[in-house]
Structure 1
Amino acid sequence: MLVAVGACYLDTILTTPYYPGEDEKLRATNVTRRRGGNCPNTLEVLQQLTFHESTERGLPLTLITILPAKSSMATQKIRSSFGSRVNLDHCIYREGLEEPASCYIIKSQSTGSRTIVNYNNLLEITLEEFTGAAEKLGSEATWFHFEGRTPEMTLQFILYLRKQFPAIQVSVEIEKPGRPGLQELAEEADVVFYSKTWAQDLGYHTAEECLREQSKRIHNASLLCCTWGQDGASALQPRTGDFEHVAAYTTENFKVVDPIGAGDTFIAGMLYALNCKEKDWDLSKKLAFANRIAGLKVSQEGFASLDRALASFV
């Protein structure tokens, strides 16, 4: 079982011709509302990919997140947005609150970039709440993936897992620049996913530079990954020094349509490869697949039918 721990949002996405200036009035060309959040997005893709696995090799999926009151319209909408392959029985509810964590995104057609404003009045998960959920899952869980929110608290979650369930694999996403404690999270994980923005904030100029320098500080991890936008993605196995790089996925007439969630999709592709194709694919193939499915995501709105990446992948 793979368990993802992170925030769940309801997204409102406005597509505009360009990004408006301060105090400017601008008409949007499209509006989309959907469930978002890094871990929910990753599970959205994983549930498609694992659908193709046999019963014996299937990968059960669980989300641990904070939601408003169990009876609220927002919670009901979020729960109904997932397929039957994602278990939400271990979510934590903030009774008395009706508003979910919300994300308002302005997507510029002229540049393909997006600007994000978040709202979240839900108290973050506590150590007691997390350990309670983890104990109920027990030895059924084989992998925990963390978004990298509240690093100090997340570090306590990981240390708890190391003590109580030492066989569990742990992955973390190191994404937001300037967030204290992310380096310490990376040093405790088995698999680390670095973002380009975080790496650049530390002065790294390429994904390879980031991974090789980080490998000097990482003692537990078996795999480090870093995406670099138009320059593709890279992966490094610190214990062996094996390094792989793939160019950004593209096809004839490729067009950037919706980059929102591309990083979450890459992580889904790699987690699928690590959990379901561990012995079948080498590192190069695992990285190529994660890169391919992330590229497909960028070329379309939303996350529907991304499992088609498997059909053409040899």
Structure 2
Amino acid sequence: WDVLSQEELFTAQVRTEEVLTATCLDFYFGIQKECKQFPVFSFILEDFQKFSIDVSLMSEHAQCMSPASMVISNIRTGSRTILHMNRDLPDVTVDDFSKVTLSHFKWIHWEGRNADEQIKMIQQVETFNSKLPPHQRITISVEIEKTQEPLYQLFPHGDVVFISKDVARHFGFHSAEAALRGLYARVKKGAVLICAWAEKGADALGPDGLLVHSDAFPPETLVDTLGAGDTFNAGVLYSLSNGGSLQDALTLGCRVAGRKCGFHGYDGISQMFSGV
């Protein structure tokens, strides 16, 4: 479950993690609707409609304004600085989540935000899953990107857990492999732990204890890194949800992220991988 309503950043987290996988993933990424007079509202909905993203389940906060972000991109290096403004839009709550019919979904992804509430949502899914045979259960994935202590309680709640390079370093690890081996004890039995490490590619560790690695696929010219991590997640989730191996998923994630860094924005990413 993702709260995605930022003028710039929402495309990185919705378009790449939803549109790229729209034909095969039953994800639900919620946005929260702000006052219709605010121009971001139209921008978001038009973009969702353009890419056939279903927003029928979004929660509405008519008196709130959408968060907005100004992204300053360095033309020479492709790096970016983000100035973020969030006035009053609340995060998704467990009450919002309770209105969702879980039987409509096969995979739900949480980006770590208000972890206390998110764990309650995940527990609802776990209760739902407990009544079903394994092949009918919803797969749960979580991403722990920010170095915030409350988010670390999400570790044992995902079937697939993504951690960022920043989180790995926060725990004192200096490589993806070291982070996965050092933090795997935090995830639940049978889970997959994944860590991307920028130009060094990404590693994953599953219950068999075998480390899986993919090299990075950098573009000839680095143009725009905004959303690289989200496009990586998109590729991994797309592959895993369609029965791909962990190696295939990791490689696709790195390929998608590398391709994205070679141009501005996100339009056309799915066409570049239309044969996948």
TM-score (norm 2): 0.89
Structure of larger gyration radius: 1
- Superposed CA RMSD: 2.1
Q: SS where residue 19 of structure 2 aligns?
A: helix
- 1:143-182 matches, within 5 Å, as 143-166=107-130, 167-177=137-147, 179-182=148-151
The number of equivalent residue pairs is 268
Q: Give the CA deviation at 1:109.
A: 2.6
Q: What is residue 84 of structure 2 aligned with on the other side?
A: 118
Q: Give the CA deviation at 1:195.
A: 0.9
Question: CA 1:159/1:40 → structure 2, altered by over 3 Å: closer, same or farther?
Answer: farther
Q: Which of 139, 154, 162 is the aligned partner of 2:103?
A: 139
- 1:210-249 matches, within 5 Å, as 210-237=179-206, 239-249=207-217
- Structure 2 CA distance for aligned equivalents of residues 222 and 243 of structure 1: 13
> What residue ranges of structure 1 are gaps of 5+ in the alignment?
12-33, 51-57
Q: Give the CA deviation at 1:62.
A: 3.0
Code of the aligned partner of 2:218: T
Contact conserved, 1:69 with 1:75, CA < 8 A, in 2?
yes
Code of the aligned partner of 2:111: E
Q: What is residue 256 of structure 1 aligned with on the other side?
A: 222
Q: SS where residue 62 of structure 1 aligns?
A: coil
- Residue 269 in structure 1 maps to residue 235 in structure 2: yes
Q: Which of 3, 7, 23 is the aligned partner of 1:6?
A: 3
- 1:60-75 matches, within 5 Å, as 60-69=26-35, 72-75=38-41
Q: Give the CA deviation at 1:272.
A: 0.5
Range with greater deviation from structure 2 (151-160 or 242-251): 242-251
- 1:19-58 matches, within 5 Å, as 35-36=10-11, 38-47=13-22, 50=23, 58=24
- Structure 2 CA distance for aligned equivalents of residues 246 and 160 of structure 1: 34
Code of the aligned partner of 2:162: F
Contact conserved, 2:77 with 2:222, CA < 8 A, in 1?
no
Question: CA 1:229/1:194 → structure 2, altered by over 3 Å: closer, same or farther?
Answer: same
Q: Give the CA deviation at 1:312.
A: 7.0
Contact conserved, 1:151 with 1:180, CA < 8 A, in 2?
no
- Residue 301 in structure 1 maps to residue 250 in structure 2: no
Code of the aligned partner of 1:164: F
Contact conserved, 1:192 with 1:221, CA < 8 A, in 2?
no
- Structure 2 CA distance for aligned equivalents of residues 266 and 89 of structure 1: 26
> What residue ranges of structure 2 are gaps of 5+ in the alignment?
131-136
Identity %: 28
Q: SS where residue 223 of structure 2 aligns?
A: coil
- Residue 90 in structure 1 maps to residue 54 in structure 2: no
Contact conserved, 1:225 with 1:234, CA < 8 A, in 2?
yes
